[in-house]
């Protein structure tokens, strides 16, 4: 009884010390600490929101998301347009890019004012001068106008005045103006001129205006294969993508002038921030040939300096980083 009383008296002090330790540790080390005892795990989970606020990120994150951001080759919360250059096609008015907070304190970069197929005028940035080969591409996306196509995200090896060249991966949302695969997401690992196939990923429930969707793409650079997950569900597994050149540029843009979309929490790296791969979609992704509509790529400078994340390894080396077992919990590898 005396020992239990003494333990209870010192418990708040132990918790304070443990919270200070957690504050100073990277997420991978926090995970190691969490497996040492139930008390350590409970304290880590309870202290997480306060720790995240002190680190300046969204308080709803899990330790998995913290780990993915910490080991990323490139990471941007997308709370503002800082670091994103308008264009590269500047012949007419570019998309309007505006940072905002939704659902409390979630940072989002909102896009409006597309060009209705006349040119690529969104925002782009250089993520690496040497080029990177991330094992995971992950982000969150919202579609405010489901009838209209938009929410384009493109990764490419080169940039030209009219857009991007040597595409690696392109993602977008398909609205009602398409003759097939309407109101769904689409992913293409390359470009239509080379015969690369696009995959239409239709969530099991109808697309909801303003709803946040978690998108993750796993890239196996050695096998030139990609897998696509939306809200953790697998829609594409081991489809081909163009792995001949590393990623140097990322572009975000809309094409329809009345389209309203938003992106958040863009991660390029070796760890996925979401739980994925626990089940496959009831309806697999449909395949279709031809352009996805609104692709800025063509077949065929110095890059802006960029913060966030360590520099990549040699271009020929895969950037896959192992996720600690205590942070996996169903992660697709």
Q: What's the average model confidence in pLDDT over 224-236?
A: 95
Q: What's CA 285's distance to the chain center, in Å? A: 20
Report DSSP state, residue 309.
Answer: S
Percent of the residues in the chain that have a pLDDT greater than 70, as a whole number: 74
226/321: higher pLDDT: 226
Is residue 326 scored above 50 in pLDDT?
Answer: no
237/255: higher pLDDT: 237
Give the pLDDT of residue 193: 52
Per-residue CA distances from 185 to 155, 206, 286, 288, 296 (Å)? 16, 11, 11, 13, 17
Percent of the residues in the chain that have a pLDDT greater than 90, as a whole number: 43
Is residue 15 scored above 60 in pLDDT?
Answer: yes
The string of DSSP codes covering 121-149 is EEEEEES-SS-B--SEEEEEEEES-TTS-
Q: What's CA 260's distance to the chain center, in Å? A: 19
Give the pLDDT of residue 204: 85
CA dihedral 222, 224, 124, 171 (to 10 degrees): -140
Give the closest residue to 247 by CA, choosing from 319, 198, 296, 183: 319
Is residue 67 scored above 80 in pLDDT?
Answer: yes
| Element (DSSP H or E) covering residue 8 | helix 2-24
Q: How confident is the model at residue 254 (pLDDT cuts 50, 70, 90)?
A: confident
- Lowest-confidence segment of 160-164, 196-200, 244-248 by average pLDDT: 160-164
Is residue 280 scored above 60 in pLDDT?
Answer: yes
Phi-psi map region of 115: left, alpha, beta (phi>0 left; psi -120 to 50 alpha): alpha
Let me know if 111 is exposed, middle or buried by CB neighbors in 10 A (0-12, 13-18, 19+). Answer: buried
Is residue 75 scored above 70 in pLDDT?
Answer: yes
Is residue 20 scored above 70 in pLDDT?
Answer: yes
Q: How confident is the model at residue 249 (pLDDT cuts 50, 70, 90)?
A: very high
């Amino acid at each position: 009884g005396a020992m239990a009383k003494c333990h209870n008296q010192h418990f708040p002090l132990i918790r304070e010390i443990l919270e200070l330790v957690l504050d100073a540790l990277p997420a991978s080390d926090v995970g190691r600490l969490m497996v040492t005892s139930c008390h350590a795990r409970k304290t880590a989970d309870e202290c997480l929101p306060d720790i995240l606020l002190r680190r300046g990120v969204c308080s709803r994150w899990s330790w998995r998301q913290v780990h993915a951001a910490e080991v990323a080759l490139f990471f941007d919360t997308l709370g503002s347009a800082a670091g994103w250059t308008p264009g590269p096609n500047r012949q007419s008015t570019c998309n309007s890019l505006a940072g905002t907070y939704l659902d409390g304190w979630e940072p989002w970069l909102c896009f409006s004012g597309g060009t209705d197929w006349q040119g690529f005028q969104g925002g782009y940035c250089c993520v690496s001068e040497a080029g990177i080969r991330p094992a995971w591409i992950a982000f969150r996306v919202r579609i405010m106008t489901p009838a209209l196509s938009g929410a384009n995200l493109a990764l490419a090896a080169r940039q030209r005045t009219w857009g991007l060249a040597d595409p690696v991966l392109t993602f977008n949302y398909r609205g009602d103006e398409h003759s097939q695969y309407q109101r769904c997401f689409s992913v293409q690992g390359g470009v239509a001129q080379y015969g690369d196939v696009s995959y239409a990923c239709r969530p099991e429930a109808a697309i909801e205006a303003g709803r946040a969707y978690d998108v993750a793409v796993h890239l196996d650079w050695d096998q030139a294969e990609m897998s696509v997950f939306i809200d953790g569900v697998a829609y594409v597994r081991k489809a081909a993508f163009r792995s001949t050149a590393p990623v140097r540029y990322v572009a975000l843009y809309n094409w329809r002038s009345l389209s309203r979309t938003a992106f958040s929490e863009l991660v390029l790296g070796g760890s996925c921030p979401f739980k994925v791969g626990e089940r496959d979609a009831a309806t697999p992704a449909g395949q279709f040939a031809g352009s996805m509509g609104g692709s800025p790529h063509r077949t065929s400078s110095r890059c802006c300096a960029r913060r966030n994340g360590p520099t990549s390894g040699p271009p020929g080396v895969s950037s896959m980083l192992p996720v600690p077992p205590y942070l996996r919990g169903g992660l697709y590898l």
